[in-house]
Amino acid sequence: MQIHVVSPGDTFVKIAQAYSISVQEIAVANQVPDRNRLVVGQTLVIPINGQYHWIGAGESLWSISRRYGVSVEEIVRINKILNPNHLPVGLRLYLPQKVKQIVETNAYIDPRMTRTRSATAVDKVGEHLTYLAIFSYAVDREGNLTPVEDQLPLSAAFKDKVSPLLVLTNFEGGQFRKEIATAILTNEALQDRVLNRALQIMAEKGYRGLDFDFEYLGAENRERYVVFLRKARQLLKAHGYFISTALAPKYRGDQRGVLYEGHDYQAIGQVVDFIFLMTYEWGWSGGEPMAVSPIAQMRSVMRYAVSVVPKQKLMMGMPLYGYDWTLPYVPGGKFAKSVSPQRALELAIRYGVSIRYDKTSQAPWFRYTDTQGKRHEVWFEDARSVQAKFDLVKELGIRGFFYWVLGNDFPQNWLLIEDNFVVRKLT
């Protein structure tokens, strides 16, 4: 695959000719909303084996070799270059397929959000997933689990050889509740009730593992949570199940805040099979406009994580969404609207605005004025931002990555998984 960024004057025909491919193949691969309209800054993933590079002024085979990780000798051989010391500007070079890293992947799905589409959402991308985490069986103060309509996504997961994970949360009324977590973590009888009920459901429905997504625990529950996870591990391993947990994105062990203080990376890493690090929501619906997952912040979290947890236990989080803010941003004012990458692109095309790319955060964004005269700022994901995250996964050498949340179509993401990785299947 190759990422093409639309420039002024580009057309689908011109792009297709440059890559020796048909317009139809590009349009279908990217599920373009309008084949007659492109906007500057829009990305297209070109579905070819390997990729092309057009020689620019001052470039040499050595610099191109370094950029793409292909030896000079291989570039010369493949392209049948007669004089490596004379490379005309604009010459198209072909570069071979990348070496692919084996990873595990996961995606969370909330059947309440996707409803009857949950099976379709899984089936569309099941070949690219190792696990499917179904959100969520919420725990109440008496240790009961709120039921989830999970049969449709479970059936799709089994069909696509994806291992389903049952997600336990302290979620109530649209929020994570510290008081629910405290009630469970301070009462062994309630813990036993929660775990035994979870085991019963897992056996009945075919789940392969249990994922704990207990958030906003506070410092008082830090050690209690680790003790609870140790108890859970003992029970789960006796039945051959995985145990995992989702953790808040921390830069250091003593990071302040109720979201962070209850998650002890090092201690939890010694207990669970793998950890889902929630490296997203720096840009969030109630905050000021910015990238959801800026690459520098993601790297800082991951560098801390690999310093205290074995790499083979770490899964980096990636968003399948962005936000559309109404300007001017006012703290405590109207929340931003969540948008899929495809919806963001449709907005840019509809209002005829160019898409910019912030190199610091490695994320695309644009502004537009709607039909009511209101100004907006949109940050989202595209092929470039996804590739930057995949490069970080490969740089770190971790177990893999995961997504929040299925239900938003983003074909470029799945094309780039195929180009960068081999996804491990467990069944």
How many other CB atoms are found less than 10 A from the CB of residue 161?
Answer: 13
Two structure tokens written together for 197: 């009920």
Burial of 68: CB neighbours in 10 Å, binned 0-12, 13-18, 19+ = middle
C-alpha R_g of the chain: 23
Two structure tokens written together for 326: 């109404």
Two structure tokens written together for 343: 């919806």
Rounded to whole angstroms, how far apart are CA atoms 103 and 315?
A: 10
Q: Per DSSP, what are the bridge partners of residue 316?
A: 277, 401
**What does the DSSP 8-state code read for residue 309?**
S
Two structure tokens written together for 138: 């919420």
Rounded to whole angstroms, how far apart are CA atoms 255 and 106?
A: 27
**What does the DSSP 8-state code read for residue 414?**
H
Rounded to whole angstroms, how far apart are CA atoms 215 and 250?
A: 13
Rounded to whole angstroms, how far apart are CA atoms 419 and 1?
A: 6
**What does the DSSP 8-state code read for residue 331?**
T
Residue 215: active-site member: yes
Catalytic residue among 59, 142, 204, 215: 215
Q: Is the dihedral of CA 166, 388, 294, 218 positive or negative?
A: positive
Say what angle helices 383-396 and 295-308 make with each other, to 10 degrees.
Answer: 20
Question: DSSP 3-state assignment of 107?
Answer: strand
Rounded to whole angstroms, how far apart are CA atoms 120 and 113?
A: 13
Known catalytic residues are 215
